[in-house]
Chain A
């Protein structure tokens, strides 16, 4: 390579005849333009100093709640993977931000009589590690599938719940585990709510409240999370299935994600298949039951089309039929892997 720098790689000036130079930072106009035809409200400028945007970085959950209560317009931000896309595209201009990244009490987990108390600030990357996977394998699998490494490093469990996107990968797992949210409110108040209540919109977060922790039972049994996507690389789920075994209660719990606004629980299929498992004999099951379970789950989540006015049976559209087949395959594979 020639020793001297190439002309195209970084000229100090893009052009000899004018004053245009390349810079790498985002700057706005600093003074009114020189001459020329002007219209409208000349001389007025609209670019408010960015410093007016308040960012608070509380270190405890109660501090954060206090700030949110005092500034109702403030928006809490944890990983920012959902929020910042709206901010960057100009769709959202929060008046103030409350950063949750420095609240150490929600960044880890602890044990509480047979349950794990997971901090809402746990990142997907942290949940994907082997020590966490030994505790709650399905949540770890969902966290590993949640996106590219950049997203997993920033995105959090609490953010996944609060965004409540249909494709949120942790949501079917939490629904299958029947997790409980512990919500921090003003002046140290704590209340509990099943995760499905929030996802179904039966109960909402009140002003100033934050999801502090998520309580998840430790089941000490196989758990599976399976996800079908459109490509081999990270992608949003077309359909996902979370399945957990509860040997103490001799139960199977299953949730299907991404096909409806919230995870769906096929309760009848769960009860039916739990009775077919020989719990005392290595959790054996007849192979035909696996396929039947898959069909049962799929039919429960994607019911047949209502009959037409004249009573004739209606066909589902091909794309919906394919989705149903996908759910059936995922549920069958999930149960098969959990029992193998």
Chain B
């Protein structure tokens, strides 16, 4: 993603170390599907085809808020080639579904609550016919005024029978009367980021002879989607099967149930396979976005820059349906003070319903928005006291044993000071004037209008934290099976490979534990036991842990007879390169011989220690573990035009243990680049509730030229004792910290407050 990767940087010593084994944990094992993906032969959902398939199209609401007077499908049904038209009347099971809370109708029946809400779906023998038939469904609307400002949602008429307030957390921690010598205030706004997966949604539904249906989807939570589908179709979960296809990019709950569920319904109704490939516009309208957030902060600090008290109000715009907004709000409130020791905190958080497109899980949700705000506050404290911004942060950083505002004690490694010092000490990149002129890349790009005399450089810091795994009592469990036969092993686990590298990790774990090089990972479907959703770094933890336990059980089965025979315990035997040797060298045999033609199976579960929900005053041990990251941003700003180029991001991250250095670097680079998008360009605009420019021309993702040089300065390997392998999730926390770092650097370059993300050009202009 970056134009210069940092794989050869000093911090990534593990991969240049000649003693690194080529297999197992700690090796940069290549993904097994890398070649197929590079050559374009890897099958994604959009590539699937079945004999006699029909094409589906979904009719979506053009209004953000309207009462449905009537839906007339007769014209659509009469069109030649149309095989089925379904509306809310054709839903046999429960009409409501939803990821966090079941409050979303499969098809709108009385009211549409957001632009793009599904109303009907059509199956026809050609995609164009299906689209035309969907357009021929006549819906009579009584257009209502949309509620698009989350601040208005409290007073507005209820948009949904469940009301407009989805969740409210009033966190109270410490002494409300505590006061510091200085006070800094700020009002911050974060825009609406779209996960914009590079492959738009697609799926195929195939009816089964037993009256059930199989759905071929790029689902990241196959069991969750299966249960939702079964409930909507009025079928037992066993009769609905989801087969996971190749996932073309997922940084969020990737799939839009608004098209998955109609797909199966149409297949059940027509008895034919039905396929849908979403256009980019439908993709933008359908899936969940990052919560646009309004934050009001007041920090009290003493004269040395130590934070005494934080007061904050956080308002998340959840959009029309709840989705996972409750989780996002919990993260936002719990991490509202950031990785800093704050003795007194009073945080009010609300997630409210509006007629904007629904928000949901996008990695780092909640934590990213508050990070932009609390880091801006730290800059303000530094400015007010005339201190170095990094120094102010260092005076406040959290360490293991400190208490979060939720009352939870940080028990995992929290090397925040070490991370911040590492990025601060890292040498700054050279100024353009010290480099050859033809290598300059000024803000505005190679053919842009950048003028060296108007460019100012700024350096800023962002320190962020996220929680890992589901919070507040979510049952995080995963089951994996390892099978060994002959010289090869197979892993069966319903953890979806979304690009995060789980299949590669599973192979590495089995290689490490069993010494077998040839490890395959089976495709995922819902006939396997659940592994949960692929988010919040949970598969590295729970699914990786389950694979390790299963592999260890197979190891015991394999070694037990040998150990018994030689009168020693299995711990005294070791497996390397397919050979079993004892500690004293007496025994030496190959795995294949020891197997003796047997087939060994073992299934294991991993379930981390339980958590508890936040109580009425926002207190509770809600999180299983936390990960931290510090980023130093260096930006160039054209102060007349307001164009910003991020020159370099230096990253130091708390990773627990490096399991695959190459993938780790790729995950950090990807996360940081996504963060640069939030900071500078990515904002899905929805004036009056209508999604504008739902395409990749209007929604500007970072390109290779926008991605800065990403320097991985330090990876702190302090093992987290409760996590399998001691490893922490790495993908989300760079997304959280990098927007704050870029904003801090633009603040340093321009002296402007930079209270809004993405940073608009007019906010980065210095008018004299």
Measuring CB to CB, which residues of chain A are less than 8 angstroms from any residue of chain B? 1-11, 14-15, 17-24, 27-42, 44-47, 89-90, 93, 141, 144-145, 148, 226-236, 238, 318-319, 321-322, 325-326, 329-330, 333
CB neighbours of A231 from chain B (8 A): 445, 680-681, 700, 702-703, 705-706
| A-B contact list, 22 entries, CB within 8 Å | A1-B29, A1-B32, A2-B519, A4-B488, A4-B518, A6-B33, A6-B503, A8-B521, A10-B36, A15-B214, A22-B47, A24-B40, A36-B272, A46-B129, A89-B279, A144-B446, A145-B447, A229-B444, A230-B643, A232-B445, A326-B641, A330-B449
B441 at the A/B interface (Cβ < 8 Å)?
Answer: yes
CB neighbours of A226 from chain B (8 A): 448-449
CB neighbours of B703 from chain A (8 A): 148, 231-234
B82 touches A40 (CB 8 A): yes
Given the known A-B contacts A29-B125, A232-B705, are A227 and B448 also in contact in the complex, defined by CB atoms under 8 Å?
yes
Distance from A278 Cβ to chain B, minimum over Cβ atoms (Å): 23
Residue in contact with A329 in the complex, picked from B29, B80, B641, B645, CB distance below 8 Å:
B641
Q: Which of A1, A19, A32, A231 counts the most B-chain CB atoms under 10 A from its CB? A: A231
Distance from A113 Cβ to chain B, minimum over Cβ atoms (Å): 31
B78 touches A36 (CB 8 A): no
A37 touches B270 (CB 8 A): yes
Residue in contact with B761 in the complex, picked from A11, A23, A35, A230, CB distance below 8 Å:
A230
Measuring CB to CB, which residues of chain B are less than 8 angstroms from any residue of chain A? 29-30, 32-33, 35-36, 40-43, 47-55, 77-85, 124-129, 131, 204, 206-208, 214, 216, 243, 245-246, 269-273, 279-281, 441, 443-449, 451, 454, 488, 490, 497, 503, 517-523, 525, 640-643, 645, 680-681, 697, 700, 702-706, 761-762, 765, 767
B525 touches A15 (CB 8 A): yes
Q: How far is the CA of A167 from the CA of B402 in the complex (A)?
A: 54
Residue in contact with A33 in the complex, picked from B49, B243, B271, B503, CB distance below 8 Å:
B271
A36 touches B207 (CB 8 A): yes
B444 touches A28 (CB 8 A): no
B48 touches A9 (CB 8 A): no
Residue in contact with B269 in the complex, picked from A6, A34, A37, A42, CB distance below 8 Å:
A37
Q: How far is the CA of A54 from the CA of B653 in the complex (A)?
A: 58
Distance from B643 Cβ to chain A, minimum over Cβ atoms (Å): 7
B83 touches A47 (CB 8 A): no
Residue in contact with B78 in the complex, picked from A5, A15, A28, A41, CB distance below 8 Å:
A41
Q: How far is the CA of A21 from the CA of B84 in the complex (A)?
A: 24
Given the known A-B contacts A233-B445, A326-B641, are A33 and B41 also in contact in the complex, defined by CB atoms under 8 Å?
no
Please, which residue of chain B has its CB at the minimum distance from the CB of A233?
B703
CB neighbours of B55 from chain A (8 A): 28-29
CB neighbours of B245 from chain A (8 A): 14, 22
Distance from A297 Cβ to chain B, minimum over Cβ atoms (Å): 14
Residue in contact with A322 in the complex, picked from B126, B448, B518, B762, CB distance below 8 Å:
B762
Q: How many A-B residue pairs have CB under 8 A?
A: 248
Q: How far is the CA of A232 from the CA of B488 in the complex (A)?
A: 49
CB neighbours of B29 from chain A (8 A): 1
Please, which residue of chain A has its CB at the minimum distance from the CB of B131?
A90
B522 touches A7 (CB 8 A): yes
Q: How far is the CA of A40 from the CA of B83 in the complex (A)?
A: 6
CB neighbours of A24 from chain B (8 A): 40-41, 43, 47
Distance from A230 Cβ to chain B, minimum over Cβ atoms (Å): 6
CB neighbours of B444 from chain A (8 A): 227-229, 232
CB neighbours of A141 from chain B (8 A): 447
A4 touches B270 (CB 8 A): no
Distance from A248 Cβ to chain B, minimum over Cβ atoms (Å): 28
Closest 9 A-B residue pairs measured CB to CB? A36-B271, A233-B703, A6-B32, A22-B43, A46-B81, A33-B272, A145-B447, A322-B762, A47-B126
B54 touches A29 (CB 8 A): yes
Q: How far is the CA of A7 from the CA of B43 in the complex (A)?
A: 12
B80 touches A6 (CB 8 A): no
Distance from B591 Cβ to chain A, minimum over Cβ atoms (Å): 14
Q: How far is the CA of A26 from the CA of B680 in the complex (A)?
A: 37
B762 touches A8 (CB 8 A): no
Q: How far is the CA of A33 from the CA of B84 in the complex (A)?
A: 12
A22 touches B523 (CB 8 A): no
Q: How far is the CA of A103 from the CA of B470 in the complex (A)?
A: 62
Please, which residue of chain A has its CB at the minimum distance from the CB of B127?
A28
Q: How far is the CA of A272 from the CA of B581 in the complex (A)?
A: 91
Distance from A104 Cβ to chain B, minimum over Cβ atoms (Å): 29
Residue in contact with A236 in the complex, picked from B85, B128, B204, B697, CB distance below 8 Å:
B697
Q: How far is the CA of A3 from the CA of B519 in the complex (A)?
A: 10
Q: How far is the CA of A230 from the CA of B705 in the complex (A)?
A: 12
Q: How far is the CA of A145 from the CA of B765 in the complex (A)?
A: 23
Distance from B696 Cβ to chain A, minimum over Cβ atoms (Å): 10
Residue in contact with A23 in the complex, picked from B47, B271, B519, CB distance below 8 Å:
B47
B43 touches A14 (CB 8 A): yes
CB neighbours of B47 from chain A (8 A): 22-24
Given the known A-B contacts A8-B503, A40-B77, A234-B703, are A333 and B449 also in contact in the complex, defined by CB atoms under 8 Å?
yes
B204 touches A20 (CB 8 A): yes
B497 touches A27 (CB 8 A): no
Q: How far is the CA of A319 from the CA of B207 in the complex (A)?
A: 54
Distance from B704 Cβ to chain A, minimum over Cβ atoms (Å): 7
B518 touches A3 (CB 8 A): yes
Given the known A-B contacts A90-B128, A319-B762, A322-B765, are A36 and B208 also in contact in the complex, defined by CB atoms under 8 Å?
no
A232 touches B642 (CB 8 A): no
Please, which residue of chain B has its CB at the minimum distance from the CB of A31?
B52
Given the known A-B contacts A8-B33, A33-B271, A39-B83, are A228 and B50 also in contact in the complex, defined by CB atoms under 8 Å?
no
Please, which residue of chain A has its CB at the minimum distance from the CB of B758?
A230
CB neighbours of B497 from chain A (8 A): 8
B640 touches A329 (CB 8 A): yes
Given the known A-B contacts A47-B129, A227-B448, A326-B761, are A41 and B488 also in contact in the complex, defined by CB atoms under 8 Å?
no
Q: How far is the CA of A39 from the CA of B703 in the complex (A)?
A: 47
Q: How far is the CA of A33 from the CA of B82 in the complex (A)?
A: 12
Please, which residue of chain B has its CB at the minimum distance from the CB of A43?
B80
Distance from B62 Cβ to chain A, minimum over Cβ atoms (Å): 15
Given the known A-B contacts A3-B518, A6-B521, A10-B36, are A39 and B271 also in contact in the complex, defined by CB atoms under 8 Å?
no
CB neighbours of B642 from chain A (8 A): 322, 326
Besides A4-B488, A145-B448, A232-B444, 18 more A-B contacts (Cβ < 8 Å) are A1-B29, A2-B32, A6-B521, A18-B50, A18-B208, A28-B55, A28-B127, A29-B125, A30-B52, A33-B53, A33-B271, A41-B82, A45-B80, A89-B281, A230-B761, A232-B706, A325-B641, A330-B449
CB neighbours of B517 from chain A (8 A): 2
A228 touches B49 (CB 8 A): no
Distance from A95 Cβ to chain B, minimum over Cβ atoms (Å): 14
A6 touches B447 (CB 8 A): no
CB neighbours of B85 from chain A (8 A): 39
CB neighbours of A45 from chain B (8 A): 80-81, 125-126
CB neighbours of A33 from chain B (8 A): 52-54, 83, 270-273
Q: Which of A29, A32, A47 counts the most B-chain CB atoms under 10 A from its CB? A: A29
Distance from A224 Cβ to chain B, minimum over Cβ atoms (Å): 9
